[in-house]
Chains A and B, each alone.
Chain A
């Protein structure tokens, strides 16, 4: 479970995030939805301990991101904004490196790799160097790398970016499986369809603040709109009240 309490972040003169609070429960998919520059990535970075909040805090499974950074990281699988792979290493070696860094024994890494490769349809690619991979293939390796230690919390920053239709469908499948396995899944997106097709709970972030949150139905009701896209535009403050 991930809890954000009044998270705020200031970079020099720019207030990237001013007040973000929400709870992402286990066994559920929570989306941070918002336009580019709304503060989604910064919020996720604060939760995954890569950036220290100026105000407020976040807790992952009850652990404070400031005080127990290493323990928090151990309980998170993170697909960060930057998701570069080591091109001279094979897909297997890329994933195994992260497994080893998380303290997994070689046998556990192998077992995990076999499982993830099956789910992500990666098996044929495992022993190839990643520098020749397509964007979708890279994404699969990056996801496998993030999940190698079977973390109870999964944070995905814009996982749909730059993927074709088939890979996107495949990705949705993976995310649903994670939820069904009882994990807390938190992801960010600026794509309406992606969110509505997948999420149990939506947190709309705009200008560094939470503009609205609830299920898709609750958001429609609150905005008085008939479709989610209008609701998003209305609630994120991009359009004037009718």
Chain B
């Protein structure tokens, strides 16, 4: 005995794979997403570290402040003479921060009455941050040292000038710092099934009607539920395949970057890959069913495409909201589709523990929504107005 749903499934798979151009586009896009993202992230990260760790300051008028030069040299800081047009350069982003020594500095310095130093910077550029902070830190250090020396010269204990000593401990592990940038992996993981399921979802619903093949198809002695199930399974298969490829791309890329600074910040190896796939497969069941449902309302292929892109936009907004609002994770997030997956996947990237319920709750929600969509779809395809067009 043949199962009609299987017949429908096999036909949809064959039909979709015959659409070579679309299939190849989707495959290439999904394979390249991971490596390309990581190259960009790695470039950004290593740039940051280079700027922060390079012990160099740009000074204008260093000859007017021998004490400062002496201090910097003792601390192994390379001094670079600022070009004449340093203000323009800072504004253009070619220089990050410049320490400016005013004309009358040494005079005030020697008399000890309010010598001034300036730092010129533009903090609207995020990548200038480390250089600005470094310049500030150095000047504070210079200030403290001078103050202490002067107090000692007057027979005062230097501890008076520094009642509290501050030491900095950054509790973020390198991996957690990386997770900020690597929120991208969960986002791509959640978007890739949408990309993968899209073509079949449109083609097998709005496309089928536009082509005029829906009416004869429904004239076959096959329950509508089988037709819906077969089509949905095909969309799901593609969604999962594309998601898996995208994630495999991330794994490959993270192996390629194993020697760089990025490696310490992120772990995206086999265990993370398995957790991601386990999370994305039920999620893809939901997105495929949702895509098919909304496409069935589309009067034409083009209209369905528009609806599907709205859905993708909605899904991509969630990680962005989480990133920009700094939304802290609360237990009920697990119950919200997309948000739940996003929360758990971010934890995986951060290297935090993920339990069974963290997988089960969002997945159960996704499965329930998928089932509801399918029931609705069956009902829609039994509706004459949907099948023969709405008047």
Contact = CB atoms under 8 A, between A and B. Distances in A.
Interface in A32-88: 45, 48-52, 70-71, 73-74, 76, 78-88
Contacts of A225: none
A129 B221 CA distance: 26
B184 to A, nearest CB: 35
Given A74-B221, A101-B220, A50 B11 contact: no
Given A11-B391, A89-B18, A101 B218 contact: no
Contacts of A145: 216
Nearest to A51: B384
A142 B219 CA distance: 13
Given A78-B216, A88-B18, A101-B220, 13 more contacts: A11-B384, A14-B391, A45-B388, A50-B384, A73-B219, A73-B220, A82-B216, A85-B213, A86-B213, A93-B14, A97-B7, A102-B220, A103-B2
B215 A81 contact: yes
A50 B7 CA distance: 21
Interface of B is mostly: helix
B18 A100 contact: no
A98 interface: yes
Contacts of A8: none
B383 to A, nearest CB: 10
Contact of B219 (A14, A48, A88): A48
Interface string B220-234: 111100000000000
Contacts of A87: 211
A12 B219 contact: no
A97 B4 CA distance: 10
A89 B15 contact: yes
Interface residues of A, number: 37
A146 interface: yes
B211 to A, nearest CB: 4
Interface of A: 11-12, 14, 45, 48-52, 70-71, 73-74, 76, 78-89, 93, 97-98, 100-103, 129, 142, 145-146
Contact of B215 (A76, A80, A100): A80
Interface in B201-225: 208, 211-223
Given A50-B387, A84-B211, A146 B221 contact: no
Nearest to B211: A84
Contact of A50 (B2, B8, B212, B219): B219
B165 interface: no
B15 A88 contact: yes
Nearest to B214: A82
B221 A84 contact: no
B216 A146 contact: yes
B14 A89 contact: yes
A100 B384 contact: no
B92 interface: no
Contacts of A103: 1-2, 4, 221
A83 B219 CA distance: 11
Contact of A76 (B4, B212, B219, B223): B219
A101 B212 contact: no
Interface string B363-391: 00000000000000000000010011001
A13 to B, nearest CB: 10
B7 A100 contact: yes
Give the 8 A-B residue pairs with the shortest CB-CB distance, closest first.
A84-B212, A82-B212, A84-B213, A88-B18, A84-B211, A74-B221, A73-B221, A82-B215
A81 B388 CA distance: 10
A50 B214 CA distance: 11
A73 B15 CA distance: 25
Contacts of B222: 70, 101
B225 to A, nearest CB: 12
B19 interface: yes
B213 A82 contact: yes
A73 B223 CA distance: 11
A213 to B, nearest CB: 25
Given A76-B219, A81-B215, A82-B216, A101 B8 contact: yes
Interface string B174-189: 0000000000000000
A93 B213 CA distance: 14
Contact of B2 (A51, A80, A100): A100
Contact of B7 (A11, A45, A101): A101
Contacts of B18: 88-89, 129
Contact of B391 (A12, A51, A74): A12
Nearest to B8: A101
A129 B18 CA distance: 10
Nearest to A103: B2
B288 to A, nearest CB: 20
B23 to A, nearest CB: 11
A70 B15 contact: no
A52 to B, nearest CB: 7
A142 B220 contact: no
A78 B208 CA distance: 17
Residue from B2, B8, B208, B221 having most chain A Cβ neighbours under 10 A: B221
9 contacts: A49-B219, A51-B388, A74-B221, A80-B215, A80-B216, A84-B211, A98-B216, A100-B2, A103-B4
